[in-house]
Amino acid sequence: MKDLTTGKEGSRILNFALPMLFGNIFQQMYNVVDSIIVGKVLGDQALAAVGANFPFIFALISFVVGIAIGATVIIAQYYGAKQMDNVKRTIETLYIFMFFASIFLTIVGIWAAKYVFKIIDLPDEVVPMAIDYFKIYALGFIFFFGFQGTSAILRGLGDSKTPVYFLVISTVMNIILDILFVVVFKWGIEGVAAATVISQAGAFFTIVWYLNKYHSFMEFSPLKMKFDKDIFKKSLRIGLPSGIQQTFVALGFLALYRIVNIFGVPTIAAYSIAMRIDSFAVMPAMNFSAAISTFVGQNIGANKFERIGKGLKSTLLMLNAISISITVIAVVFAGPLFRLFTDSPEVVEIGKQYIYIVTPFYVVFSTMFIFNGVLRGAGATLIPMIITILALWAIRVPISWFLSTEIGTIGIWWGIPIAWIFGVTCSFIYYLSGKWKKKAVVKHGN
């Protein structure tokens, strides 16, 4: 466990974010290898099928992930205030909630898959493969939530390293199983999904074994867990806006995919590849956002508000340097990067257009994520939720749709940075207002 209420702010945040970043690099490398295998071995239609599953899966899990964010903020603030009994009760409540949520989403998802893919206008030749992939993938929701919930808990307690070790092992296992199931056994797209489920199960069971053996405070014992209604209500108060925000974002991605799907398989495949490349810019933003969220939560719990502004400035400098570097690499090597995934010249050209338009705005996106991380850490999640929903549904989706009718696929891509600029502007204004400081769970006397 790591106390983030002392020491140099920038160093504390960097040291906390780096293990998560390292682990996610491995995870994204798996996603890249996964897409390369699918694209090269199974073809562009299979690649489009896997890509179309992303917004659907995101839509299913997003609400639960948002509630977990609320619980993580509470854990961080209780830990900063050294209220360990409340920390333990919050952990048990989160586990119970995520268990039942995973069962529910598995059943609903398998039932709804074929309807969702038709609603988003996925090409008929791609739908069967997309459904086959999802039915197997959904069986792993219980392991996914278990591992992600445990990782979120540990981050709230200041431990960002432990989940990484198991994530790396899971990623390596996933790559090996991908090659075995798809290249050797010829199981097709079902093999890709099966490899993911087995790897997620392995990550969850091994991290539970580790916690039970080496951290008695975090002992995973389902039969002894108790659900605390008061703490769950607090988690809902903080996490519900994040859950709603995540859900609307996911639905927005589905709406965008419907716009993309109109232009056919090459555009869907190009967009799927672009999402993999985008992930390397999104990943540092998410990790540093999670780090500063925990940092803010602990320092508010310890009543050290003066450290928050210093931590924010340091984080923005570090993350923007990373974002600029990723932009340069993506723009310079756009063609070769897309040719790793596909042999189709048409897909490569469409993908390069995306890179040239979107990647120069990675700095804007990263800055927006950091401000939202500060607000989440303070427990002020309602305004960021409203800003995100407006940026997506009032700006990105309408502009992407309108411009796509005027200038084709290029118009879809331009809607993305325009929405980011709107989002970061609104988040910055709310941060300057200082109202987020009054949203803490742990209250201090004047």
- Contacting residues for 325 by C-beta, under 8 A, at least 6 apart: none
Phi, psi of 386 (to 5 degrees): -65, -45
Phi, psi of 187 (to 5 degrees): -85, -5
Residue with tokens 């949203």: 439
The helix, strand and coil proportions of the chain, stated in percent and rounded to the nearest 5, come to 85, 0, 15
Q: What single DSSP character describes residue 304?
A: -
Amino acid at 316: L
- Continuous segment of H or E residues that includes residue 280: helix 265-301
Q: Which of 308, 306, 279, 371 is nearest to 13 (CA)?
A: 308
Residues 126, 48: contact at Cβ < 8 Å? yes
What pLDDT sits at residue 220?
67
Residue with tokens 């989940």: 163
**Helix or strand or coil: residue 158?**
coil
pLDDT digit string, tens, across residues 287-338 = 899 889 888 888 887 778 888 889 999 999 999 999 999 999 999 999 998 9
- Continuous segment of H or E residues that includes residue 4: none
DSSP-assigned letters across all residues of 70-125: HHHHHHHHHHHTT-HHHHHHHHHHHHHHHHHHHHHHHHHHHHHHHHHHHHTT--TT
Residues 430, 378: contact at Cβ < 8 Å? no
- Contacting residues for 329 by C-beta, under 8 A, at least 6 apart: none
What pLDDT sits at residue 444?
55
pLDDT digit string, tens, across residues 396-427 = 999 999 999 999 999 999 999 999 999 999 99
Q: Mutual orientation of helices 362-378 and 409-433 as an angle, nearest 10°?
A: 40
Quick count: other Cβ atoms within 10 Å of Cβ 417? 18
What pLDDT sits at residue 406?
93
Phi, psi of 17 (to 5 degrees): -75, -35
Residues 422, 391: contact at Cβ < 8 Å? yes
Amino acid at 324: I
What pLDDT sits at residue 165?
83
Q: Which of 317, 301, 437 is nearest to 375 (CA)?
A: 437
**Helix or strand or coil: residue 381?**
coil
Residues 279, 30: contact at Cβ < 8 Å? no
Quick count: other Cβ atoms within 10 Å of Cβ 332? 11
- Contacting residues for 306 by C-beta, under 8 A, at least 6 apart: none
Helix spans in 302-396 (H): 306-332, 334-339, 345-358, 362-378, 382-389
Quick count: other Cβ atoms within 10 Å of Cβ 210? 16
Q: pLDDT of the chain along its 446 residues, tens only?
A: 566 777 888 888 888 888 878 877 776 776 777 777 888 888 888 888 888 888 788 888 877 877 777 777 788 778 777 788 888 888 888 889 999 999 999 999 999 999 999 888 888 888 999 999 999 999 999 998 988 888 877 777 777 778 888 888 888 888 899 899 998 999 989 999 999 999 989 999 988 888 777 766 666 677 788 888 988 888 887 777 777 777 888 788 888 888 998 898 899 889 988 988 888 778 889 889 988 988 888 888 777 888 888 999 999 999 999 999 999 999 999 999 899 888 889 999 999 999 999 999 999 999 999 999 888 888 777 888 888 889 999 999 999 999 999 999 999 999 999 999 999 999 999 999 888 877 655 555 54
What pLDDT sits at residue 130?
92
